[in-house]
Amino acid sequence: MTQLKLEDDGVGMIRVGINIPTLLHRALSRLPTFGRPERPLLSWRLDTNYTPTVNANLPKFTILSNKADNEHAQPPNFRTPLRKEQLRSLEWMLAQEAANVTPFIEEEISESLLTSLGWRAEGRAQRPVQVKGGVLADQVGYGKTAITLGLIDCTHNKIGEEFATKIRVPGKIAVKGTLVIVPPHLTRQWNSEVQKFTGKNRFKVVVITTVSNLNGVTIEEIQEADLIIIASNIFKSNVYLENLELLAAAGELPTKEGRHFNAQLDKSLENLGTQVDLLQDEGPEAVLAAMKAGREKGRLIHPRSKSYPYSMFKPRPKRVQLRMLKPNV
């Protein structure tokens, strides 16, 4: 806000007002909030010698080398040793998985310009978010699979200890294993790499290449596994989505992607948590009853909707079927 005033004695006055709370509120509103309990940090500044830059002269982007990084010791149960450069990557991966990993700073900036005076007001909102993990972007043939297996081997005992003390999480079934989602042609390769580097008895591995494989896996097998290797195309197959729709019992999923599909998918995933709790509290018969009720409700709303054979609702004796698998179980 700018005000101009000419006094009776001929002296002119300029008053400039800056609404800092509005700038900060604007910046804060753009910060992601879901799953982020950390408190945001707010700051502002006023640049009274601001010159707009027509073409920013930014430095060329370069990828830093890790040759100066420390090498980690060989994974404790590896039969085939990792190379020095792989051990440096392993050291970085373990640091990224640590509880005290350096937080990632999410930042949004809102500005207001008064170009006639060369002023620029800036409101800044930051939130430090602790994000474990990262992206191992080594070149093809560098041995990323071996390094990742080294990470799993190095953290196996610690994860087992943490898993033993975990309390029940609503809507989830606790799983200690590492979920590996890969292109379909790499599922067998991953399994062979596990055996090559750690032997046949070090890890319990479940390999899922098709929806039929998924339907034949029990919850107990997933809970006991150290690695679950699954083909990525399963999650987009029509059969998988039909199984999800059936198990969630939250209504029919649209056949085409879009806003309606995403909204119904969110609803199905939310209700899936309710079904998981029902399974753990009352058993598979209660889940099947809820699935039947959801199917009948869907037929009343969508009389021409697809139907499912009754055999899909029959529980198999002494075996609870895992009809679908979410990446975040």
List, for residues 91-142, the tens digit of each pLDDT value: 999 999 888 888 999 999 999 998 888 889 999 999 999 888 889 888 888 8
Query: Has residue 236 got a pLDDT over 60?
Result: yes
**CA triple 161-166-167, angle to 5 deg:** 160
Structure tokens, 196: 């090559």
pLDDT at 221 (0 to 100): 93
Pairing of strands 12-16, 41-47: unpaired
Give domain limits for the chain.
Answer: 169-313
pLDDT at 1 (0 to 100): 66
pLDDT at 313 (0 to 100): 38
Residues 6+ apart with CB under 8 A from 323: 214, 215, 243, 246, 247
Q: How confident is the model at residue 299 (pLDDT cuts 50, 70, 90)?
A: low
What's the predicted TM-score (pTM) here? 0.75
Query: Has residue 16 got a pLDDT over 90?
Result: no
pLDDT at 105 (0 to 100): 94
pLDDT at 163 (0 to 100): 83
Contact 268, 245 (CB under 8 A): yes
